[in-house]
Amino acid sequence: MIKQLQNLIDQMSRELPGILAAAVVTVEDGMSIAEVRRRDDIETAAAAAYLASIVKSNAKAINLLADDEEVEDILITTRQYHFIIRHVDDQPFFIFVMTTKEEWLGKARMLIKKYESQLTGFAGYFEKNFQ
C-alpha cells in the first residue's frame, strides 16, 4: 500500500517540473508516509511534522473566524518558493508540495487536486495504520 502511495507521489512530481518536494503526511502526528525531493538539502520528513501543526492550527482558526467555511488549501510563499498544503477536512492526511516561485501556482493546485482524488482511496488504510 505504501509503495502505491509512493508511486502516486513520484508520478505527481514528474508532471510538474517546478516541484522540489512533495509528501503525503498524516494530520495527527505529521508522519510522512510517501515523499519525494529533488534536492538533498530539503528535509521533507522533518518539515512534514511542522506542517501538521499548521494544518491543525489553521483548522481551529478558521472555525473561530468563519465557522461554515472549509479550507481549500494553505499557501505559504517566500522569495523563492511556494509551499502548498492541501487537506480535506474528513481525511486523515494532507498533501504538501514545495515548488519554485517560477512554477505556475494554478497548475500546481490543479495537479494536487487531481491526485487528491486518487489519494482519498487510501483513507481507510491511513486510519487503520496511522492513528
How many CB atoms are located within 10 Å of the residue 31 CB? Answer: 17
pLDDT at 78: 96
- In the predicted model, residues of the chain with pLDDT beneath 50 are none
| Residue 98 belongs to domain spanning | 2-129
pLDDT at 69: 84
pLDDT at 131: 57
pLDDT at 130: 65
pLDDT at 126: 66
Tens of pLDDT, residue by residue over 40-76, are 999 999 999 999 999 999 988 988 998 788 888 999 9
Q: Which CATH number fits the domain that encloses residue 64?
A: 3.30.450.30
Q: If you write DSSP's letter for every residue of 47-77 in order, what string do you get?
A: HHHHHHHHHHHHHHHHHHH-TT-----EEEE
Total tally of structural domains belonging to the chain: 1
pLDDT at 92: 87
Contact criterion met (CB below 8 Å) for 83 and 98: yes
- Whole-model pTM? 0.87
